[in-house]
Every structure is written in structure tokens, then in C-alpha cells.
């Protein structure tokens, strides 16, 4: 059986949980206590030298790190990852966009805000907020005439981008200011369905939340 090395409050982990659920793939969950340093032990670094969750461990013991790489692995041969060359490239475009413009920007601001680390990172906050506003505006422009990011179909691009972007309100952004984006977020929420809660950092007593 697959094993997901995970941290529940991580939206990167959330992406993978969602796709595993939608594909009805059984897996074992192995929680990683990131604030206690478990992701930097020798055992974990053997799975992911970067020391970050999530990591998907396959049945033969080999491992895949980076949430969007895991998504593409799981989605291969399904409707969540198109086989058409152009449409597949569009999915990849948004997966790269997410890792460059969303997770390190909105994800970081959200993490700092919810775990009491905003003040210690104050020198970077203004730049991150400007970048996050540009990101939300870019998404809003892109979604003005298409129901999903890569076209008419719901794909792993939508799961990946939605994970952190729809939580931008946690760090002070008003999503109704981006109406096309907000409408898309509702479509993605409906496509995913219930059963995939967003876990607060406060569930972890070591988080400082």
C-alpha cells in the first residue's frame, strides 16, 4: 500500500489527500511532526533530502517528494491529467505557476499569520503581499472566460492552485475583490466535494499557533 508522509495543516499535503480520495486510492498516513524536527531526521531525509512534506512512498519503498510531482504521478492515465499534448502542457503551466507564485507567497503569508510568525518576518511581508495581490489578479484574469484553469475540465492544476489560493483570506485578502477567481473557487470546491477539511495549525501544540 502507498504511504503518505504528511502534516495535516499543510495545504501541500491537503492537495495529495484530495486526489487520493477522488481516485479512491487506499493509503497509509504517516504524520510527520515538523515543528519537533521530524522532517529533518536521517530517516526522513532519506525519503526527501529537502526535508519537507508531503512525501509519497510507493509499495517498493521508493519515494516521490514535492506535492505537484506527486499529483502528476497519481493522476497519470486519469481525467485529472490530460493526454493531449497542449492541454497537458497547460496543466503543467499552472503547476509551475503555483509553486512559484502561490505557495511561497500566499502560503508563506498564511503560515506566518496563523502561527504567530508575522512580526519576525516583517521585512518580507510588504513584498509578499504585493506579489500575492498580483497573483490573485493574474488568476482572476485567466479565469474570466474558462471554467477551470486548463480549460473546460477539472484537473490537478485546479487542485494544486486552489489549495493555498482559496485560503488567501487567512492572511488578509478579500476574495470577492476577484470575482472570476472567487467563482472558480466555488466550482473547485463543488468538484472536490466534502470530506477534505482544512486543518488549523492550532491542532499541533508545537506550532505556536
pLDDT values of the chain reduced to their tens digit, one per residue, 209 residues: 999 999 999 999 999 999 999 999 999 999 999 999 999 999 999 999 999 999 999 999 999 999 999 999 999 999 999 999 999 999 999 999 999 999 999 999 999 999 999 999 999 999 999 999 999 999 999 999 999 999 999 999 999 999 999 999 999 999 999 999 999 999 999 999 999 999 999 898 888 76
The CATH class of the 85-192 domain is: mainly alpha
Same topology, domains 2-76 and 85-192? Answer is no
Where are the chain's structural domains?
A: 2-76, 85-192
Residues in contact with 55: Cβ distance below 8 Å, sequence separation at least 6, in sequence order: 4, 5, 44, 47, 48, 63, 64, 65
CATH topology of domain 2-76: Glutaredoxin (3.40.30)
Sheet with 27-31: strands ordered across: 27-31, 2-6, 55-57, 63-65
Question: In this predicted structure, what is the pLDDT of residue 8?
Answer: 97
- State the pTM of this model: 0.96
Amino acid at each position: 500500500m502507498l504511504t503518505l508522509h504528511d502534516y495535516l495543516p499543510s495545504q501541500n499535503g491537503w492537495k495529495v489527500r484530495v486526489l487520493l480520495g477522488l481516485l479512491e486510492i487506499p493509503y497509509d498516513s504517516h504524520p510527520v511532526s515538523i515543528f519537533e524536527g521530524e522532517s529533518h531526521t536521517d530517516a526522513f531525509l532519506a525519503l526527501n533530502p529537502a526535508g519537507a512534506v508531503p512525501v509519497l512512498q510507493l509499495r517498493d519503498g521508493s519515494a516521490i517528494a514535492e506535492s505537484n510531482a506527486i499529483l502528476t504521478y497519481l493522476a497519470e492515465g486519469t481525467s485529472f491529467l490530460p493526454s493531449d499534448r497542449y492541454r497537458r502542457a497547460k496543466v503543467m503551466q499552472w503547476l509551475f505557476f503555483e509553486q512559484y507564485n502561490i505557495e511561497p507567497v500566499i502560503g508563506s503569508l498564511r503560515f506566518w499569520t496563523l502561527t504567530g510568525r508575522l512580526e519576525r518576518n516583517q521585512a518580507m511581508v510588504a513584498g509578499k503581499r504585493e506579489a500575492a495581490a498580483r497573483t490573485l489578479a493574474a488568476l482572476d484574469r485567466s479565469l474570466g472566460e474558462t471554467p477551470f484553469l486548463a480549460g473546460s475540465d477539472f484537473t490537478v492544476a485546479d487542485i494544486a492552485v486552489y489549495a493555498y489560493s482559496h485560503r488567501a483570506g487567512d492572511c488578509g485578502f478579500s476574495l470577492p475583490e476577484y470575482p472570476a477567481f472567487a467563482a472558480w473557487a466555488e466550482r473547485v470546491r463543488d468538484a472536490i466535494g466534502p470530506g477534505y477539511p482544512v486543518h488549523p495549525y492550532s491542532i499541533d501544540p508545537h506550532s505556536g499557533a
